[in-house]
Amino acid sequence: MKRKKLEGNGLWESSRMIMPEHKIRILDDVLNEETRKKPDLDPQAMVEISQVLAQSLEDCSPITLTVFKEYEDMQIHGIVMRIDQQLKQIKFRYDDDWDWIKLEDVVGANT
């Protein structure tokens, strides 16, 4: 029995070779599907985050920050050491280290 090229899986059976440009594009598309978009925070959530950051700065109380990352959010437990309004970032101490974290990347803060 003779099968036509376009019946069943005939089209894919006859085109097993992939050009390098197509392979790169397919891999890029797969990676882009896995990346996430940063959520838009409502004004109330932004106020709550600001209050938690200010309280930690004032009395050196430990807080947990949720920081947006492309693939998965990261939670960091520590203390706010400084808030730089001009550069819109905070100096955050955790464990025996510290980091500058952009305020726009903070999507949550809890005491």
Which string of b and e fits 97-106 if b means at least 16 CB within 10 Å? Answer: eeeebebeeb
How deeply is 76 buried, as exposed, middle or buried, from its count of CB atoms within 10 A (0-12, 13-18, 19+)? Answer: middle
> Residue 108's pLDDT band (boundaries 50, 70, 90)?
very high
Q: Where are the alpha helices (DSSP H) in the chain?
A: 10-13, 20-34, 43-59
Residue type, 3: R
pTM over 0.75: no
What pLDDT score does 20 carry? 80
What pLDDT score does 63 carry? 97
What pLDDT score does 110 carry? 93
- Identify which of 25, 26, 54, 49 has the alpha carbon closest to the alpha carbon of residue 108: 49
CA distance 65 to 73: 10
Question: Is 80 exceeded by the pLDDT of residue 27?
Answer: no
